Structure 1
Amino acid sequence: MTPRILIIAGSDSGGGAGIQADIKTVTMLGGHAMTAITAITAQNTLGVQAVLTVPTEMVIAQINSVVTDIGVDAVKIGMIGSAGTANAVADVLESLDVPIVFDPVMVATSGDTLADAETIAAFERLMGLASVTTPNIPELEALGGKDAVLAHGTHLVAKGGHAEGNWIVDELYSPTGRLRHWEAKRFDTTDTHGTGCTLASAIATGLGDGMTIEDAVERAIRFVRIAILSAPGLGEGHGPLGHALGVIPFDEIEG
């Protein structure tokens, strides 16, 4: 059965991150993507020019609409929009017995802030519900560090992309300690817009399809790296990934 992945996140008009990256990722990995959009952004590779949050009741209506008809095998949470929405989403997700991947989006790749202090404080409830939480280094610091996140009972993927050096180390922790780590050479590129969204959605798709957390994370990391290598080179700033991995299905079929 096709895994049904509910994505609760913001829209990126530039198509590189957010809901757009999530849908591409879930689709490429064989899932069916459903969405509850929390915010609309005017955004491109250079930055975020404007943000309009979606009213909390509309976010919840989107979630209820797909849950009651299509059903859900896993949930991915990205940009949440507001503290009120974070708490309302937590209320709804408490009744769902499915894997939840929480990407605590606070700052865009361009450096623009996407979550205020009150919203970040409300992340506590979402981490308590999450099967996996996937912060980058600045986000992990803002959440109080590794031990503070693990205290919520979630698995932690501590992403190493923001560290210095030529090698990236991504670490997977269970609530009781480190399970795995992956080391890979850093690519010399600025086409990294949407890597966090893509990784979290890839993990959610794997979990929704019955993969273990370790296997889902490993495949997600591989997918992100291949997508970076396949980037189309668009825009003047941090360009989008190549989620199709350089493949055009009709060309493949006709060839």
Structure 2
Amino acid sequence: MTREREPVSPPVALTIAGSDSGGGAGVQADLKAMTAHGVFGTAVVTATTAQNTRGVEDVHAVPADHVASQYDAVIEDFDVGAVKTGMLATAPIVETAAGLLARCPAPVVVDPVMVAASGDRLLSPAAEDAYEGLIERATLVTPNADEAAVLVDDPVETPADAAAAGRELVARGAGAALVKGGHLDEDGETVVDTLVIGDAGGDERGDADAAEADAAGGTEPTVVRFENPRVATDATHGSGCALSSAIAARLARGEPLREAVGSAVGEMGSAIRRGYDVGEGPGAVNPTAFDGGM
């Protein structure tokens, strides 16, 4: 047995999000999903939460200047290939994140975590309003239907509404928007996730996507529907965190945006079917069930 070191040098991704004491969502889920994709995960903790599979009992936000200090410590030492944001908790933290990421050359995936799967509110109203600056910096924003409705101030009840919301988010500056369809009822058996890719996303989309936009005159966003069978379960705690982290990990590995989104969305069924049956609540998705394309 050799005693020589055999180090590996994986791509690096960063999550800026809250901690889930129950382990099913937040930074804990993000790091598991990144590891499953062969990516080294680093973390900036924005808040600690007292929560479990049954719900959120308390949230304690970290001071915004400490969020900035954590971010600087990571960026100064690691070659970060992609960043994702999750729960940001307060307006000062949202504004701090937007300012920090304005100087970040890596792709940024913004998961606007506003409501937990349990229905608990995780973001203050002032912080919701502060999201405009962060959306402008996003390579991709990944709201569910409820979050998209808050962001665009319009109901999102159908896949057509989701496409309209995605277009609006792109018009507001996001490179692309993935409006998740888990809360929409297409036919009771199918989940429709809607990806809207703006013309400004060019290089990150890959040649096929850029050609599609050029064929349309370079002005209309590209709309892509991903349809997958609905898994009959309410154990979806951490699903948004795992999905956005999987996309960020794939972007850190150099995958084009459309490919990264399509692959991560396709893998979510496995993460949900093989979810963790732990705790007394519905349970959580299994970020390690992603095959990661490895």
TM class by smaller structure = over 0.9
Unmatched segments (≥5 aa) in structure 2: 1-8, 153-164, 199-219
CA distance in 2, matches of 1:30, 1:181: 27
Aligned partner of 1:87 in structure 2 is 95
Q: Shift in Å at residue 138 of structure 1?
A: 0.6
Alpha-carbon contact 1:227-1:244 (below 8 Å) kept: yes
Given candidates 242, 259, 265, the residue that maps to 1:215 is 259
SS of aligned partner of 2:51: strand
Alpha-carbon contact 1:230-1:243 (below 8 Å) kept: no
Alpha-carbon contact 1:38-1:53 (below 8 Å) kept: yes
Aligned partner of 1:162 in structure 2 is 183
Matched residue type, 2:259: D
Alpha-carbon contact 1:28-1:244 (below 8 Å) kept: yes
Aligned partner of 2:166 in structure 1 is 146
Q: Shift in Å at residue 209 of structure 1?
A: 0.8
% same residue: 40
* Pair member with larger Rg: 2
Matched residue type, 1:184: N
Q: Shift in Å at residue 246 of structure 1?
A: 9.5
CA distance in 1, matches of 2:78, 2:54: 37
> Which deviations, in whole Å up to 9, do the C-alpha atoms of 1:27-69 show, x marking residues without a partner?
0001010000000001111100010000101111000001001
Unmatched segments (≥5 aa) in structure 1: 248-255
1:187 aligns with 2:231: yes
Compute the TM-score of the two structures, normalised by the length of structure 1.
0.93
Where does 1:55-74 land on structure 2 (aligned, <5 Å)?
Answer: 55-74=63-82
Alpha-carbon contact 2:228-2:266 (below 8 Å) kept: no
CA distance in 1, matches of 2:22, 2:178: 26
CA distance in 1, matches of 2:76, 2:266: 33
Alpha-carbon contact 2:178-2:193 (below 8 Å) kept: yes
CA distance in 2, matches of 1:219, 1:238: 26
Matched residue type, 1:64: D
Alpha-carbon contact 1:110-1:238 (below 8 Å) kept: no
Q: Shift in Å at residue 142 of structure 1?
A: 0.4
Work out the number of aligned pairs and report it.
Answer: 247
Compute the TM-score of the two structures, normalised by the length of structure 2.
0.81
Aligned partner of 1:238 in structure 2 is 282
Alpha-carbon contact 1:191-1:231 (below 8 Å) kept: yes
> Which deviations, in whole Å up to 9, do the C-alpha atoms of 1:102-129 show, x marking residues without a partner?
0000000000000111101111111100
